[in-house]
Amino acid sequence: MTNPRPPVLVALFALGVAIPAQAHHSAAMFDAGKNVTVSGTVREFQWTSPHCFIQLVAADPENAGEWSIEMGAPIELTRLGWKKTALHPGDKATIVIHPLKDGGKGGRFVSGVGATGAPLVVTR
């Protein structure tokens, strides 16, 4: 008679590994081959897991409207020198993003500068 436990343990292990992996989405929605520069006013800086976001209101005719800019996780940003107090509503910023492939007003943060021209993040 065979022991049924090894297949059950293997199945439980596989399930345990798959669940965390499923929780993280890919960056396939962003066009990594293209950069768009958006200048505007910060409406909100969301310091949240699993990803932080900058809500930026752009007034220039080409990019007018509110942009949702996705960033890394708080721990990743902290390692790059960010703090949850780095941006405040009303701050001016110019941000380079990899835009959404569907043309929506959003993208993945690449780099940025504040009103003084100082970098918003230390680049890798």
pLDDT digits (tens, 9 = 90+) for 32-86: 999 999 999 999 999 999 999 999 999 888 899 999 999 999 999 999 989 999 9
Question: The pTM is what?
Answer: 0.76
HEC-encoded secondary structure of the chain: CCCCHHHHHHHHHHHHHHHHHHHCCCCCCECCCCCEEEEEEEEEEECCCCCCEEEEEECCCCCCEEEEEECCCHHHHHHCCCCCCCCCCCCEEEEEEEEECCCCCEEEEEEEEECCCCECCCCC
- Cα 113 off chain centre by: 16
- Domains detected in the chain: 36-114 (2.40.50.140)
* Amino acid in position 75: I
pLDDT value, residue 113: 95
Report the alpha-carbon distance of residue 2 to residue 78 in Å, rounded. 51
